[in-house]
């Protein structure tokens, strides 16, 4: 059985294989149960991938994936249970009565999903799209850490989309599906774009090594917009920190 675990020493967990039915993933946030990937979830994500596989513009594709993932986990119905209560109410037990985790499909439309569930969904979609297209892009699910300027680092999950043998700004793209990016145009107008960052080779090396790095918004590098608000710092945390 596949198991995706987190390193509590600060080094990232990087997943590049195909997620299968029954895979267990440790939840990103401390204190919540494990995610169990099930066939219903995989079928829906792969259907989304097939729908979006004809999209050739990478920025448009990421925006559409963001919307699809958001819509999967959200609904207009009120979920009166907290995130922790929702996980507990949908726990799966083994034959000995021990908790295995919660099926991810049980969280559909519950309005409680965060970076772990969203990034897992985005990864499955992107992995399938890369498979359908047969190109040289590779998707990776990353369990790491995130802080903003002087804030404390917290466990975080995101997706990488890498391309070999090129030197353009789409070579290493960090897709933070949980956190849209606030940008500003030359006239001072602010708006949110999908959380998409371009990494240099050096920054990607830092990611692999678990070191801190602050990527630049793709929109700031490729257009007239500039990123505003607290800078996001991905990577290693201090062992003296408390959660």
pLDDT in tens, 214-237: 999 999 988 889 999 888 999 876
First-residue to last-residue Cα distance in the chain: 30
Q: 97-101: long-range contacts at Cβ-Cβ below 8 A with a sequence spacing of 24 or more?
A: 99/33, 100/24, 100/34, 100/36, 101/24, 101/33, 101/34, 101/35, 101/36
Share above pLDDT 70 across residues of the chain, in percent, rounded to a whole number: 94
Please state whether the predicted TM-score (pTM) of the whole model is above 0.85. Answer: yes
Q: What is the pLDDT of residues 83-101, one digit of tens each?
A: 889 999 999 998 888 889 9
In this prediction, residue 179 carries a pLDDT of: 94
- pLDDT, tens digit (0-9, with 9 covering 90-100), for 22-71: 999 988 655 567 999 999 999 999 999 999 999 999 999 999 999 999 99
Residue 204 pLDDT > 70: yes
Angle of the 58-73 helix axis to the 115-133 helix axis, nearest 10: 130
Other C-beta atoms closer than 10 Å to the C-beta of 167 total 6
């Amino acid at each position: 059985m596949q198991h995706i675990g987190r390193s509590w020493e600060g080094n990232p967990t990087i997943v590049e294989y195909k997620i299968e039915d029954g895979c267990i993933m440790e939840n990103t946030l401390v204190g919540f149960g494990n995610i169990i990937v099930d066939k219903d979830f995989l079928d829906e994500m792969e259907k989304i991938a097939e729908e979006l596989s004809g999209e050739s513009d990478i920025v448009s594709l990421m925006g559409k994936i963001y919307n699809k993932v958001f819509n999967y986990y959200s609904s207009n119905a009120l979920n009166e249970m907290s995130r922790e209560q929702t996980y507990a109410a949908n726990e799966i037990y083994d034959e000995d009565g021990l908790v295995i985790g919660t099926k991810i499909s049980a969280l559909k439309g519950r309005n409680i999903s965060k970076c772990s569930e969203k990034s897992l969904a985005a990864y499955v979609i992107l992995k399938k799209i890369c498979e359908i297209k047969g190109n040289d892009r590779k998707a990776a699910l990353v369990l790491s850490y995130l802080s903003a300027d002087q804030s404390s680092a917290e466990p975080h999950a995101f997706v990488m989309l890498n391309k070999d043998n090129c030197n353009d700004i789409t070579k290493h793209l960090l897709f933070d599906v949980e956190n849209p990016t606030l940008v500003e145009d030359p006239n001072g107008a602010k708006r949110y774009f999908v959380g998409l960052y371009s990494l240099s080779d050096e920054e990607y090396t830092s990611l692999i090594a678990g070191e801190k790095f602050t990527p630049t918004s793709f929109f700031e590098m490729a257009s007239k917009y500039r990123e505003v608000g607290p800078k996001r710092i991905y990577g290693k945390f201090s062992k003296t920190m408390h959660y």
